Amino acid sequence: GNKIFINTGLIINHPDPDILRGIIAHEIGHILGRHVVRNQEIIENYQKASIGATALGLVAAMSGSADAGMAVVLGGSHFARRSIYAYSRTFESSADQTAIRLLEKSSHSVIGLIKFFEQVRKLQATGIDNPYESTHPLSNDRVTILKSFNKRSKFQLSQNHDDIVHKYQRSSAKLAAFTLEIDNIFKHSYVTQTKDITTYMNAIKSFRMGSFDDSLNYINQLIIKHPDDPYYHELKGQLYFEAGKGDALVEYKIAIETRPDDELILLGKAIVGITKHIDRPGYLEQFHKDLERVLQKNPDSVLALHYNAIYYNKMGMVGEGYLSAALIALKSGRIADARKMASAAKNALAKKSVDWYRAGDILAATE
């Protein structure tokens, strides 16, 4: 399918928006060129050729020439690998050309791809295995072509505003601080972190190490310095919520005032609000509205659907609760559960209502 999956390792290890933009443009090139489908066809064809070579080798061996038989088998396999690799290089060059056009049309530089490929080459020189290289063979010609184009481009340097770079690096830092092993948190970046980002990462690191007071001290330093930055309040709210201390909802409400349509903040506020007021149904509607706004932006948010189901069940809306559970199961690949929940939803919902039809759609889609 025409899907691009972004590995968090790319964002953590390369906290540069130009690199992410360049990689996405390159992968779009593969999609537009139908390279995945064509590559699979090529592999299947050469697998057949390799099987044929193996059969010939066996015939030769059975005829009394074991060495000749082995040579035929190995030669056929080697030829197949080299041929597939050659096609891969062609596809990579084609995707690079598409990326160049897309980046130029969007008024962005190819500098991100150049940076990324140069870093890949450094890894090659150290002998460290790089999964990217196994599927995206890198040649010197590709880097040379990109550099040559960049010299002629109107956008030779990064076109990002400093604010975009800072926000992207902060996102990278948050991913690293929450997901990497504690000892590796500050090893993830190839650029020197700003003091604010270092403080931000220390807030998360301290929290993970069980030092809540230190964590709070770090995040408060940032809030004092940047009182209108919603994401520092969002993190403080998250830390309060996960530690079961303070009033997390207050922090999320402050963040919402600045970024009223931010999906992450809306979802966090809804989760905190529903959890805090779970036994006070009259307070839940406002947080349900937040969830609905999240789902309008991102219908695939399983977490939003989960808390939607909690809300519906608490409000006695059985059919809607079953429907949310069916959607969660469907998006999680649990087809049998999706059908079971959708059937229950259809039985509980008002006939010919919008949700009744949605439940029917799930049943039809999972037949």
Residues for the chain: how many in total? Answer: 367
pLDDT value at residue 238:
95
Question: How many Cα atoms sit within 13 Å of 38 on the Cβ side?
Answer: 12
Measured CA distances, 37 to 25, 48, 228, 272 (Å):
18, 17, 48, 45
To the nearest 10 degrees (0 to 180), the angle between helices 302-314 and 318-331 is 160
- Going by pLDDT thresholds of 50, 70 and 90, the confidence category of residue 246 is confident
Contact 315, 281 (CB under 8 A): yes
Report CA dihedral (167, 173, 176, 177) to the nearest 10 degrees.
-120
pLDDT value at residue 46:
47
- Going by pLDDT thresholds of 50, 70 and 90, the confidence category of residue 184 is confident
- Going by pLDDT thresholds of 50, 70 and 90, the confidence category of residue 138 is low
Structure tokens at 208: 């993970």
- Work out the percent of the chain whose per-residue pLDDT is above 90: 53
- Residue 353 DSSP class: S
Mean pLDDT of the chain: 83
Q: For residue range 75-129, list pLDDT tens digits in order.
A: 444 444 444 444 466 778 888 889 889 999 999 999 999 898 888 777 777 765 5
Q: For residue range 314-365, list pLDDT tens digits in order.
A: 999 999 999 999 999 999 999 999 999 999 999 999 999 999 999 999 999 9
Distance separating alpha carbons of residues 18 and 15, to the nearest angstrom: 9
Measured CA distances, 366 to 204, 217, 345, 349, 355 (Å):
42, 51, 15, 19, 17
pLDDT value at residue 71:
44
Query: Which pTM value belongs to this model?
Result: 0.77
Determine the average pLDDT of the residues in 207-212: 95
Nearest CA to 147 among 113, 107, 120, 108?
113
Q: For residue range 154-173, list pLDDT tens digits in order.
A: 888 888 888 888 889 999 99
Q: For residue range 18-37, list pLDDT tens digits in order.
A: 999 999 999 888 888 876 65
